[in-house]
Amino acid sequence: MTDRTHDPSLRSWVESANDERTDFPIQNLPFGRFRRARSSRAWRIGVAIGDQVLDLRAVHELCPWDDAAQRLLQPLAEGDLNRFMAMGPVARRELRALLSEGLREGSNVQRLLEACLVPQSGIELTVPCRIGDYTDFYAGIHHATTVGKLFRPDNPLLPNYKWVPIAYHGRSSSIVVSGHRVRRPLGQTKGEAEMPQFGPSKRLDYELEVGALVGVGNTLGEPIPMAEAEAHLFGLVLLNDWSARDIQSWEYQPLGPFLSKSFGSTISPWVVTMEALEPFRRPFLRAEGDPQPLPYLDSPTNRERGSIDIRLEVLLQTQAMRERGEAPHLLTQGNFRDAYWTVAQMLAHHASNGCNLQPGDLFGSGTQSGPEPGQGGSLLELSHGGKVPVQLPGGETRVFLLDGDSVWIRGRCEASGARAIGFGECMGTVSPSP
């Protein structure tokens, strides 16, 4: 499934794209929505390349490509990533090949594309597309097991977990892009007293997740079979589905999370396409003794290459650390290949009842934790339910997040024989309650 655009020896005339440390070499080419910093201009669609952004509206206006190329660029030039997402994987591959050709060393359009570059240091970014609906899955089995043990030590996973992809419907209107502050929510909680109380959450947490964006949708009433699921996916982002654990524990029975989640979710601004992720696909394997997926959640392609190898990490910087000039502290590391369900299975299951998915719909993977101690994808796990403080530099500790804390999620794909790519940062800072 790889092609010339994945060649690890490819170099770009954008020199910063050749730095081994960059998340955005020529082999990546993720999409985002940007404008010049401190401007009120309309948002534009661009592609990240090294420390630059290729302005696709400018490319459409300045580059003398043929009519077919101009048709691919048209929705992007108009700032509408959703329309391009709806065009499907063939259009995506064609534009990827075109941009790769134009950005590589020796390109005959280098002079023209140079005029279309904008330094990332001089832009602001927003949510990359219109996200009409947001569904958060629960595909992190190590998270589900660890959290389940806090409440059901002898039976941490409920009987349906290994058979059906569990999810809840989230709130798309409160999704923000990396860099935005997230305000500590107010809510109703229940302690030892007879009556519940209303006030600021005292057990605010992050959740390390990967988000998947739908490309091509489906008609209401028409399921998407597993054999076609991959063609309906556009790309992945990093996701922090902030969680108020004390509000959640009181409200979630019997219908699940509500106000404990809908106050804010943060995503990374650059969408890494499914094509860019091709060199990092891995076989999807179930542990010995676990049930195999039902036929509607199974396919040869999913078994051969359904998992995606993304190294994930979470870092925390407290306000005191920031004032002392200290770098964020690494809290945990994990890998998306440990997810119990693949993104194709999530999509096929979501549409299996005839639910109509639309371009730009977002799926969260659920908290991604590793199998080893200290690999929890949330403070709930790392602090053993708030009982064991997490040690930080300078003598500080945390069981849950305090106001002024900043959380970073980072993701990077690395494989032998492939050029490493990344997602950029997914960062948010906690602000006090109103």
What would the pLDDT profile of 336-368 be if each residue is shown by its tens digit? 999 999 999 999 999 999 999 999 999 999 999
Task: Note the pLDDT of residue 145.
Answer: 93
What would the pLDDT profile of 272-302 be if each residue is shown by its tens digit? 999 999 999 999 999 999 999 999 999 999 9
Mean pLDDT, residues 99-125 taken together: 97
407 vs 417: CA distance, rounded Å: 32
Q: What 3 state SS string does 283-337 have?
A: CCCCCCCCCCCCHHHCCHHHHHHCEECCEEEEEEECHHHHHCCCCCEEEEEEEHH
Task: Note the pLDDT of residue 17.
Answer: 98
Task: Note the pLDDT of residue 64.
Answer: 87
Q: Is residue 221's pLDDT more than 90?
A: yes
Mean pLDDT, residues 310-320 taken together: 98
What would the pLDDT profile of 81-101 be if each residue is shown by its tens digit? 999 999 999 999 999 999 999
Positions marked active-site:
143
Angstrom CA distances, 126 to 11, 25, 270, 324, stand at 29, 21, 9, 30
Helix axes of 89-103 and 67-77: crossing angle, nearest 10 degrees: 100
Supply the pTM of this predicted model: 0.97
- Percent of the chain surpassing pLDDT 90: 96
Task: Note the pLDDT of residue 235.
Answer: 98
Task: Note the pLDDT of residue 346.
Answer: 98
Q: Is residue 1's pLDDT more than 90?
A: no
What would the pLDDT profile of 55-84 be if each residue is shown by its tens digit? 999 999 999 899 999 999 999 999 999 999
Q: Is residue 320's pLDDT more than 90?
A: yes
What integer best gives the mean pLDDT of the chain? 97
Task: Note the pLDDT of residue 281.
Answer: 98
Task: Note the pLDDT of residue 164.
Answer: 98
- Residue 27's pLDDT band, with cuts at 50, 70 and 90, is very high
Q: Is residue 391's pLDDT more than 90?
A: yes
Q: Is residue 34's pLDDT more than 90?
A: yes
Q: Is residue 153's pLDDT more than 90?
A: no
Single-letter code of the amino acid located at 168: Y
314 vs 328: CA distance, rounded Å: 9
Task: Return the higher-pLDDT residue of 152 and 433.
Answer: 433
Mean pLDDT, residues 380-406 taken together: 96
Could you tell me if 44 and 33 are in contact, meaning their C-beta atoms sit under 8 angstroms apart? Answer: yes
Task: Note the pLDDT of residue 152.
Answer: 86
Task: Note the pLDDT of residue 155.
Answer: 83
